[in-house]
Amino acid sequence: MLGLAFSPDGRTLATGDVTEVTHLWDVASHELPGVPRAGSQVAFGPDGRSLPAAIWNGGTTRLWRNILWRDTDVLRAQVCGLVRGDLTKAAWATDAPGLPPQTVCGS
């Protein structure tokens, strides 16, 4: 392991390894809640949702923004700013099986 950093709230651990891959770990469950990202040297930004990661051999740095969301209202506003309206009942059944259709973003 080349890098490791805890998020400001202590709920997520970012690890960077020798294969230049960064993983985000949920500290409570010890699970990987997200997709691996490029980078081996890691640090969280002060907002707790951005992750600068340096690639050791390539000499580059990437900034992964908005990778963690702890506040549902902020996430909803971000997502609803990108789409219009809500999912249809058919889309709820396909994309969110087991969840009842509901109004999320409005019309």
Return the pLDDT at 27: 87
The pTM assigned to this predicted structure is 0.56
Cβ–Cβ < 8 Å for 22, 44: no
Q: Evaluate whether residue 33 is within a structural domain.
A: yes
Predicted confidence at residue 87, as pLDDT, reads 75
pLDDT block averages, 10 residues each, the chain of length 107 = 81 83 85 76 79 70 68 71 75 77 75
Tell me, what DSSP letter sits at residue 82? T
pLDDT (0 to 100) of residue 59? 66
Is there a domain that residue 57 lies in?
A: yes
Position of tokens 């973003």?
A: 105
Residue 3 has a pLDDT of 83
Is 13 within 8 Å of 32 (Cβ atoms)? no
Domain for residue 58, yes or no?
yes
**Assigned domain for 69 exists:** no
Q: Classify 22 as helix, strand or coil.
A: strand
Question: Domain range holding 60?
Answer: 3-64
Count of the separate structural domains present in the chain: 1
Residue 99 lies in a domain: no
Within a domain: 38: yes
